[in-house]
Amino acid sequence: MRGRVGKGSLFFMAVIALVSLFSGFAVATEATQFGEFSSDDFTYESRCRQCHAIIYADWEGTMHFNAYLDPFYLEEVKVASGDTDGLVDKFCSRCHTPIGVVSGEIPPVDGSEMSDIAKLGVQCDFCHVVSGSDGTGNAPFTVTPGDTKWGPFDDSKSAYHDSEYLELYTQSEYCGMCHEVIHPVNGLVIDDTYPSWKKSQYAEDNVVCQDCHMTEGITEFKANPGRAGSGAPKRDHISSHDIVGGNAFIPVMFGAENIADMAIERLQNAATLEVTTPETVATGEEVNIQAAITNSGAGHNIPTGVSEIRQIWLEVMVTDSEGKKIYSAGTLDSNGNIESAKIIYNNVLGDSDGNATDRFWLADRVLEDNRIGPKKTVTEEHTFILPEDIVYPLKVDTSLNYRSAPQYTIDHLFGEEMYEVPVISMNKASSTIYDPSTPPEERTESTQGFSIFAASMAFVLIMHIFYRK
């Protein structure tokens, strides 16, 4: 009957509660508060490295490793702090230096009161003393520093510390604690990496963040046999701790070219590009180029993260056989600004006056959301009239490009010519347009989509050369 719970039901509920407790089932726990612990309660990564050398090597140089030291973050958080009279100091720092926040060492946001261990960003003994969470969004983690370390295995043993299994470590909700950011004042969702995954087919198919970002499979799970530490049993899969996303800009500043290379590879597996062009066009007629872009490999929107500054766009260049430019869109000018792109795929935020802003802490609305959802396809159309003074055949080159931030944003923060933001080609396609009078047998096979791998390797080489200067 409704409104009554029998003794049998109470017993059954108690059994479920006990099973959940001892099986590591993720239940809400109270989030650890500012200043609740001391940084002395945490262990330096150098101690972890003694037994977990391979995992440490994965993590070193990553964006988690440099979550606090990232110069772009350090400069931008200073601006955000000034704009908000310090309102966002603890808010931003909770993900970028969690030990600094739970130990009460920040603010001040300049880090002048921070211990060395707090500057290690998202490090070993923070991640593995997470003992629960109060959901997702804005870092509602519960940490319990001490001799017990939590993880994804229910049979781990260590001579140095106790080990406990927690189901949270196998779920996207672990990542969703920081990879969902909600404005602390007006509730605007600023980073929807976790929510966009949650709404996707990937979530329905139980493909979690760790399947793509903690394996060798790039955009799918691939087993990584090995041992989690010295003396540990060999397992069918050990999670990779590089946990790379799409940032190939910051890692090279710290000499981590390998991490940048992995980011490039991940970006080049995130989207497919299909371009359709006419085989022949006469001068004076309209040329129509159709481009279909599919988010084929990311389990969340692309771009993601602070997507108001991330940029994906299609570059189109049409030249005749003598190299004369006939049409272009999405190229960069001398200052690194994108010219004439049909659309820039990112999130456009607006402030209280309705003006576009790339300072998310001042935003209270979304003006445009041009990102591409998981498994979704968007199309672009480029048209122009073919001029008379051209020499056939014409070459159509297209490139789907990505960069972590606009060049003007970096120039504003650091000064011009300090850093050049690398433009990464996520995918390429090429084709040829002929004079209608050219016999079919003299038209060589279209090269649409050719040499993606060769172009990728060339870009990686250019990146290495650039950053060695």
List Cβ neighbours of 253 (8 Å cut-off, separation of 6 or more). Answer: 71, 419
Determine phi and psi for 69, rounding to 5 degrees: -75, -15
Burial of 370 (C-beta count, 10 Å sphere; 0-12/13-18/19+):
middle
Pairing type for strands 347-351 and 424-433 reads: unpaired
At 316-348, the pLDDT tens digits run 999 999 999 999 999 999 999 999 999 999 999
Mean pLDDT of the chain: 90
Mean pLDDT of 417-429: 96
Distance of alpha carbon 291 from alpha carbon 230, whole angstroms: 51
More confident residue, 462 or 289: 289
Confidence of residue 5 (pLDDT cuts 50, 70, 90): very low
At 368-421, the pLDDT tens digits run 999 999 999 999 999 999 999 999 999 999 999 999 999 999 999 999 989 999
Confidence of residue 217 (pLDDT cuts 50, 70, 90): confident
Mean pLDDT of 350-360: 96
The DSSP output letter for 280 is: B
In this model, does residue 16 exceed pLDDT 80?
A: no
The secondary structure element, H or E, covering residue 17 is helix 7-22
Confidence of residue 444 (pLDDT cuts 50, 70, 90): confident
Determine phi and psi for 165, rounding to 5 degrees: -85, 140
Mean pLDDT of 346-365: 96
Mean pLDDT of 18-37: 69
**3-state SS of the chain: helix, strand, coil percent to 5?**
30, 25, 50
Contact of 270 with 296, CB cutoff 8 Å: yes
The closest alpha carbon to 266, from 288, 289, 296, belongs to 296
Which pair of tokens denotes residue 69? 């030291």
How distant, in Å, are the alpha carbons of 368, 389, 393, 396 from that of 436?
A: 42, 16, 10, 16
pTM of the predicted structure, to 2 decimals:
0.88
Q: What is the pLDDT of residue 119?
A: 96
Does the N-terminal peptide bond of residue 387 adopt cis geometry, omega within 30 degrees of 0? no
Distance of alpha carbon 349 from alpha carbon 365, whole angstroms: 6
Contact of 300 with 195, CB cutoff 8 Å: no
List Cβ neighbours of 114 (8 Å cut-off, separation of 6 or more). Answer: 97, 100, 105, 106
In this model, does residue 245 exceed pLDDT 70?
A: yes
Which pair of tokens denotes residue 164? 């406990």
The closest alpha carbon to 106, from 173, 35, 169, 155, belongs to 35
Calculate what percentage of the chain has a pLDDT beyond 90: 85
Q: What is the pLDDT of residue 445?
A: 52
**Three-state secondary-structure class, residue 439:** coil
Q: What is the pLDDT of residue 177?
A: 98
As a residue count, the chain comes to 469
At 148-184, the pLDDT tens digits run 999 999 999 888 899 999 999 999 999 999 999 999 9
The amino acid at residue 226 is G
Angle at 247 between CA 244 and CA 251, to 5 degrees: 85
| DSSP notation for 120-160 | G-S-HHHHTTEEEESSSSS--EEE--SSEEEES-SS---SS
In this model, does residue 132 exceed pLDDT 50?
A: yes
In this model, does residue 2 exceed pLDDT 80?
A: no
The secondary structure element, H or E, covering residue 414 is helix 407-414
How far does CA 115 lie from the centroid of its chain? 28
Q: What is the pLDDT of residue 455?
A: 45
Pairing type for strands 424-433 and 363-369 reads: unpaired
Distance of alpha carbon 218 from alpha carbon 318, whole angstroms: 33
In this model, does residue 18 exceed pLDDT 50?
A: no
Pairing type for strands 130-133 and 356-357 reads: unpaired
